[in-house]
Chains A and B, each alone.
Chain A
Amino acid sequence: MKTIIETDRLTKSYGKSRGIRDLTLQVGEGEIFGFIGPNGAGKSTTIRTLLGLITPTSGTANVLGMDISHRREILARTGYMAAEASFYPGMRVSQLLALSASLRGMDCTAEAKRLCERFELDTQKKVETLSLGNRKKVAIVCAFQHKPDLYILDEPTSGLDPLMQKEFFALLHERHAAGASVFLSSHVLSEIQRHCTRAAIIREGELIAADRVEALTGAGVRRVTLHGVSEAPDLPGVQPITGGADSVSFFYRGALQPLLAALQALPITDMTVTEPELEEIFLHYYEKKEA
């Protein structure tokens, strides 16, 4: 697989405060890659390093086959959406979009118009009067109007209403189908689960897992709910989630035979075994790392 983003032991230290440590990551060309972690985990630091906004303390990173020191060449082929979109007060949306295109040395008028209509964005409004959702729409148009090869998106849907979120992902999939690669940072795990082929989980500046989303979701872990009992079976690989007078839920990691054997002795009235949601896997990885 040809990589479009590749980091090797990428580290950014901010003195005492956390940055990222020894981050090694590969994103394949044509992928929609998810980057998951809570606020402060190092997602934005990673992205800002890839975009050349900050210089890594050590390690290397390549984007679009180029070392990140080739900022201009990389940025010419990249569309970026910041987690918090800030623009120049006093400018109209149309002026800002024209400025963005001009900074790229391009005329994106036609594509910008199409995107503004699609996202119902009033281009005559002053940017400082826009709501968070509308500022996000401006950021979408800025990131998409030049039809880049790579999209680096940091929490792109925060502030967008559900309809616009749907429209945004429809657009993203269109661009992906046309050959673009996507690096999607989010803490909305359902987004990653629904739209990404692979994902990585970052915690306290360190990468703790990177795999296909299905594999991360599976990861040998099952979510088991038993009715008719109040305690989870005492078995290696069992990690209780909730318990009550008449039911209990737990994660189980391991072969199914020992679990089924242990369950046979219990007065179970009903049971479900499902794949855990990514949220649960996320917590699972966190707890595993802490253990």
Chain B
Amino acid sequence: MTVFLHELRRGRTAFWVWTASISLLLLTCMVLFPEMSGQMDGVTKLFANMGGFTAAFGMDRVSFGDVMGFYAIECGNIIGLGGALYAALLGIESLSREEQGHTAEFLLTHPISRTRLVAEKLAAVLTQLLMMNALVMLLAWLSFIMIGETPAIPDFILLHLAFTAMQLEIACICFAASAFLRRGGLGIGIGAALLMYFLHILSNISEQAEFLRYVTPFAYADAASILADGRIELPLLLLGLGYAAVGAVIAFRVYLKKDIAA
């Protein structure tokens, strides 16, 4: 547990910054809803006539005037993108920063097996993500209460389950990349998260790009689809969790045999 707890301590500032940022943005957004809801009919009509843009963000499938529709589109984007970036950073830095900071030698000259090291680091990444999602979910719930609304519980839970699963997948894939890197991969992590996000938008706009739904985790975490269908697209979710598992296995296999840079 030493490495696990050490990782949580090292990551606590970033954890609170990301949790606070996502939660505050979400709260701010929700506080605006009562004021905006009166004008939403017009806004919904306006968005309905924006063609590809409307489809890209799923606004053709849910109503902006409805609190859950508003939450899914506006807050879904904040949690989706913010959470994905945080997940990518957690994953990509976990193993690589030991070599970047020249602390790998300190860590790996203690009697701890590499398997255990990777396992505890991965557990720390996933724990931080789960904790962040739990707190964001709690604050999101409070934001509904603050504006005098009640969320549709099944939809609310489904949305957050999907966001969490998406972040876990991104974190695991970046964690695998981290095992290969000797220096920090901040750019790679941010790039990967943004790429996945834009691939999803692309898959929403063009039918020819629909295959991208099998690549990007944003596809099964698409808030509009979840709200419209009342479920997460299970095949895509399972595929995503499969990618996550493969990422984790790759990380173990690579790091166990890796020559550690001085």
- A residues adjacent to B (C-beta < 8 A): 44, 48, 51-55, 71-73, 75-76, 78, 80, 82, 84-90, 99-100, 102-105, 142
Contacts and interface: CB of A to CB of B under 8 A. Distances in A.
A184 B257 CA distance: 27
Contact of B259 (A53, A71, A82, A102): A53
Contacts of B260: 48, 53-54
A56 to B, nearest CB: 10
B112 A99 contact: no
Contact of B109 (A51, A54, A88, A89): A51
Contacts of B3: 103
Given A84-B102, A99-B6, A76 B111 contact: yes
Contacts of A100: 106, 110
16 contacts: A48-B105, A51-B108, A55-B259, A73-B111, A75-B110, A75-B111, A82-B105, A86-B102, A87-B103, A87-B106, A100-B106, A103-B2, A103-B3, A103-B112, A104-B110, A105-B111
B106 A86 contact: yes
Contact of A53 (B2, B10, B108, B113): B108
The 4 residue pairs across chains A and B that have the minimum distance between CB atoms: A86-B102, A103-B110, A76-B111, A75-B111
Given A44-B262, A48-B262, A99-B2, A53 B111 contact: no
B262 A72 contact: no
B101 interface: yes
Contacts of B10: 88, 90
Interface of B: 2-3, 6, 10, 101-114, 257, 259-260, 262
Most buried by A among B103, B257, B262: B262
Contacts of B112: 72, 103
B106 A53 contact: no
Nearest to A76: B111
Contacts of B111: 71-73, 75-76, 103-105
A80 B111 CA distance: 11
Contacts of B107: 103
Contacts of A103: 2-3, 107, 110-112
Contacts of A75: 109-111
Given A75-B109, A87-B106, 15 more contacts: A44-B262, A48-B260, A48-B262, A71-B113, A72-B111, A72-B112, A82-B109, A86-B101, A86-B102, A86-B103, A103-B3, A103-B107, A103-B111, A104-B110, A105-B111
A71 B256 CA distance: 12
A88 B103 contact: yes
Contacts of B102: 84, 86
A86 B107 CA distance: 10
Given A48-B262, A86-B102, A87-B103, A53 B109 contact: yes
A89 B101 CA distance: 9
